[in-house]
Structure 1
Amino acid sequence: MARIRLRTWRRLVLVIFAALFAAIVYRWISLERLQRMAPPEISTTPTPEPTPTRPPVITGKLDTGKLFNGITLHSTVETVPGVDATTERNQPDSYILDLRLQARVPSPNKTIEELAKVSPQVPTLLPGLASMISSDPVSPLYAQLYDAKIRMLRENLVRLDLLLSRHNFFDCQTVLQLQHPQSHRKALVLQADMDVDADGSDGDRMPVGTGAPANFKPFTSYRWPKKTSGPNPYLAETEDTLKRAEDEYALATTTPVRKRDLRNKIAELRAEVGTLKKYSFLIGATDPFIVVPGAFTHTS
């Protein structure tokens, strides 16, 4: 019995020893695998703090273009550091386009020599003009004209397509108020570029239209009652435009905003139809006439 117990204890110790040996070997193999699979340790070095610099100005190349109205355009883009995007998005002044129009107001011609630079034949055609020019001959109408031009620029600055063209801003050289030294009769002299005016129509003299260029108007400020029953050549077209506007206004699908615009357009077209039926006008293609600002005709 003692031998059996001793033999059993020996076997038990041997089994325990074998189990411990197997556990040690397995642990050693596992550590070896972990060391091979672990990523290499990356040593980190502290990043130096950036030194504050001036906010960058992004200019690129100077984009110098010309709008269709002759305005020279210079454009740049400037950026400055801001806060977080959500805050900046809600700030009106974080994303701005500044429009600044620079225009040189021209000086009026005052002497016969200055007039002759633009119109060389003036001294020959008007030999007595030099004697009528005083020391300060410029009419206040010249300043009023350019004040009106500047006011139009300010009103239409956000609409680049409505700004005066370069030609139309610089189209007047001078406005002189003159007085004859003997008769003391007064005269107003305008020196300005002339644009071709194709407006106007007259069913009595020209029953067939000559075409309608851009911005054409079939009537002029100067008019007189019709003398015949011949219709104005542009009456039918104006009536068709009026009918289309009235039909669109009557649609249930027309929005209130569109109806408001149509209401104004219909009133304007009805007035034009009535005017074309009742009056005759100058014809730009055949009648020699010039167009001047209305303020020029009311001065004394």
Structure 2
Amino acid sequence: MITPRSLFMLLSLFALFGCSKKQPQEETVATPGLPAWVVGDTESLPVKRSTSPAYLQVEKTVSVLRPRPLTKIEALEKLNPGLSSALPQLAGLLSSAEVSPKFKSFYDAKISAIKDGDIMSTDDYFDCATVLHLTSPATGRKAVLFQSDMDVDTDGTDPVRLSRLQDYDDARISRSFQPLLAYSWAQSAGQRAANPFVQYYADTLSKLRGFRQQVSQEAAQDHGYIWQSLQKQLDETISSLDRRAKYYDEDLRTRRSLVGSLDPFIVVPQTWPDRLKQPFSVQVGDFVAVIAGGKVYPCVVGDTGGDAKMGEASQRVAQAINPKASGRNSAADDVSVTYVIFPQTRLAMTAPDLSVFQAEVARLLQEMGGLGAETLLHHWQ
């Protein structure tokens, strides 16, 4: 006969062993203060503190949220209203889409940077909501879709189209300005021009070295902090500019590239292009459709950037979407822009013909089901 006491003991043992056998569940987090689209899983990692003095042993563990990629049209439509109207077949394409390995590797790079002590802002961390591989069942056309924000790329020079230094004044306000892009081509024998940055770098280095000599003379007489510090800053600036001038010198003399203010292009992480030529391998020069605000903009992949940075387009694209965009102001701070790359579609990299961009992107979109009846492909003037 089972007494109340023995029944209680049996239930207690059952509960104990039942709990011990329960498998740990993956933690799902939806935290106030984060972007509304973010639902993810927490991971613990040690954060390096390289600046700690030798006599201190600082160990710090943090929990980082790894977002789950969005895969449903409803979720993407919330971020980019009008997306399903612009691309009516997208809902069907998403039903068979696969999450790209690029999404995991992208956040791997971010988490690795955090582990090394690079604590980025919330917006910078959550700058990509998904990366998906799409395949049209009707045509077999492949596409890589990613949802992101849009920063502005002002890089690139082309002395044939813009020969004066002042033509790049708006571009040079960006601290990260680079004079050449990966999308570049050799100057032809019949169409050569001197790149103004060759002389600019030489002249600027000469002036800086002159300032350095004056500061050095003052520092020799005044051993206080101000002149010594200024001398050190000038040394660092001269060294950095000298390395840049030498690195770009030959290419600036012989090559041309896309220009941020003239040409519609986007930037992808430097790990995306590869030589494997798999179905979803992305290359510089591949055609791209950028969808924002119910409009579609034909572009190409023009350059590559950091492993942990997504969502960047040329000044030409950014200002078409947001006239206030510049080298200092983003076109879109939230992940409201959809980018559709058509892998392995690049043509020979030569001086851009925007009518070709228009025609190729229109053709490729048609192979993915076409645009909505009321959606027009933007025409670059």
Q: Shift in Å at residue 243 of structure 1?
A: 5.0
Higher relative contact order (CA 8 A, sep 6+): 2
Cα deviation, residue 259, structure 1: 9.0
Distance 1:156 1:91 in 2: 17
**Structure 2 runs not aligned, ≥5 long:** 1-52, 221-230, 279-381
Runs of 4+ in 1 over 6 A off after TM superposition: 244-248, 258-265
* Residue 118 (structure 1) shift: 0.7
Deviations 1:60-99 (Å, cap 9, x if unpaired)?
xxxxxxxxxxxxxxxxxxxxxxxxxxxxxx9924xx7666
**Residue 75 of structure 1: aligned partner:** none
State the alpha-carbon separation in 2 of the partners of residues 297 and 92 from structure 1: 44
Which of structures 1 and 2 has the bigger CA Rg?
Answer: 1
Higher strand share: 2
Match of 1:117 among 68, 75, 78: 78
Cα deviation, residue 205, structure 1: 0.1
Kindly provide the CA deviation profile for residues 164-197 of structure 1, in whole angstroms up to 9, marking residues without a partner as x. Answer: 3433221111101111122233221111111111
Distance 1:125 1:260 in 2: 50
Task: Tell me if structure 2 keeps the 8 A contact 1:245–1:266.
Answer: no
Kindly indicate whether the alpha-carbon contact (under 8 Å) linking 1:245 and 1:265 is maintained by their aligned counterparts in 2. Answer: no
Quick check: 2:97–2:134 contact (8 Å CA) kept in 1? no
> TM-score when scaled to structure 1?
0.57
8 Å CA contact retained: 2:181, 2:258: yes
* 1:168 counterpart = 2:124: yes
Partner amino acid, structure 2, of 1:273: D
Q: Where in structure 2 are the equivalents of 1:1-300 lying within 5 Å?
A: 92-93=55-56, 102-134=63-95, 137-157=98-118, 163-208=119-164, 209-211=167-169, 212-215=172-175, 216-227=177-188, 228-242=191-205, 266-298=242-274, 300=278
Q: Is the 8 A contact 1:197 1:284 kept in 2?
A: yes
Change over 3 Å in CA distance of 1:203–1:165 after alignment to 2: farther
Quote the Cα distance in structure 2 between the aligned partners of 1:190 and 1:169: 15
TM (norm. structure 2) is 0.46
Shift of 1:116: 0.4
The answer as to whether partners of 1:116 and 1:122 remain within 8 angstroms in 2 is yes
Work out the CA distance in 1 between the residues paired with 2:117 and 2:104. 20
**Cα offset for 1:291?**
0.3
Write the letter of the residue equivalent to 1:213: I
Residue 244 and residue 99 in structure 1: after superposition, are their counterparts in 2 closer, same or farther (change >3 A)? farther
1:82 corresponds in structure 2 to none
**Which runs of 5 or more structure 1 residues have no equivalent in the other structure?**
1-89, 158-162
With over 3 angstroms needed to count, the CA separation of the structure-2 counterparts of 1:193 and 1:264, relative to structure 1, is closer
User: Helix, strand or coil: the match of 2:152?
Assistant: coil
Give the AA of the match of 1:105. Answer: R
Does the aligned pair in 2 maintain the 1:175–1:189 contact within 8 Å? yes
Deviation larger for 128-137 or 99-108: 99-108
Equivalents in 1 of 2:258, 2:93: separation in Å? 33
Give yes or no for contact 1:238–1:273 (8 Å, CA) kept in 2: no
Q: Give the percent of matched residue pairs that are identical in Structure 1 and Structure 2.
A: 31
Q: Residues 245 and 148 from structure 1, CA distance in 2 versus in 1: closer, same or farther, beyond 3 angstroms?
A: farther
The 3 A distance-change label for structure 1 pair 91 and 185 is closer
Secondary structure of 1:295's counterpart equals coil
| 1:245–1:278 distance in 2 versus 1, CA, 3 Å | farther
Contact 1:109 1:174 in 2 (8 A): yes
